[in-house]
Copies of this chain bind each other. A is one copy, B any other.
């Protein structure tokens, strides 16, 4: 199977997610062409997931594809953006059409759940890795940044944390936690409601304490977090929820109660950094090159 035949297999795996209302030219030309809905800005992010580092290379390819898409879309959720188009750069070790088709199918499933359109991509040969370039839209001027938290705001998370880290620590031996790692949901479902209430937001990808630290630094404030209030995924432990990453729930601040389910875990005060139960914490969490 040559490169162009394999591309056909992958695009077939994307199915109807490679077409969309705002996509004028999809996969197959030198580039895609899309139209932004009137009055919107473009919100753009890119992520690379490397086999053996971000996911086990021998995992189910549908899980790998699903997770890669959701992990990347999570950055849009953190901005309060709704998915527009995604570009998918695949670096594969071999031309295995069944494996590539399952990978594409997992990506399509995530795209379908979130309303994303797969507009194009690239296929290279090398060590297995996936780069996902994701693009969303917000009504002009409404993107939720990391920098808007103000003293007096409360701090929230959108769901239970720690499940993915616990699954990883267990070597994926406990079936009931594995979906936390392989089947995360980018919270783009919350985008309009988040834009309406949040003063700042970040997705919890590298661990709550570290990501809260990034939000605190960008806003020039201190986040006081009460560890007992942090919702812990059933089957995980509190340290997974505080320091483990990969859950892709959102941490946000707001001056008034959100109109959707979210758990208040603390408050914004003058100062800097993160206080956990009154104690300053280092930015512990996942780092490449650490």
Contacts and interface: CB of A to CB of B under 8 A. Distances in A.
Interface string A141-174: 0010111000000000000000000000000000
Given A41-B24, A147-B29, A289 B47 contact: no
Give the one of A28, A36, A48, A135 with max B CB within 10 A: A48
Give the one of A35, A36, A94, A129 with max B CB within 10 A: A129
A212 to B, nearest CB: 14
Contacts of A265: none
Given A33-B138, A43-B33, A126 B50 contact: yes
A247 interface: no
Interface stretch (A72-80, A102-110, A235-243, A268-276): A72-80
B289 A79 contact: no
A116 interface: no
A120 B44 contact: yes
A133 B87 contact: yes
A130 to B, nearest CB: 9
Contacts of A140: 35
B3 A79 contact: no
Contacts of A41: 24, 33-35
A113 interface: no
Contacts of A234: none
Given A48-B122, A53-B124, 14 more contacts: A2-B290, A24-B143, A25-B143, A29-B218, A30-B75, A30-B76, A33-B143, A34-B44, A35-B140, A36-B42, A47-B89, A50-B124, A52-B126, A126-B129
A68 to B, nearest CB: 12
B288 A30 contact: no
Contacts of A202: 30
A46 B30 CA distance: 10
Contacts of A122: 45-48, 131
Contacts of A89: 46-48, 131, 133
Report how many copies the assembly holds.
Answer: 2
Contacts of A36: 36, 42
A32 interface: yes
A35 B142 CA distance: 12
9 contacts: A33-B41, A33-B44, A44-B135, A45-B120, A46-B121, A46-B133, A50-B91, A52-B126, A95-B289
B124 A54 contact: yes
9 interchain residue pairs of minimum CB distance: A133-B133, A131-B131, A31-B45, A30-B78, A50-B126, A95-B289, A46-B87, A125-B288, A48-B89
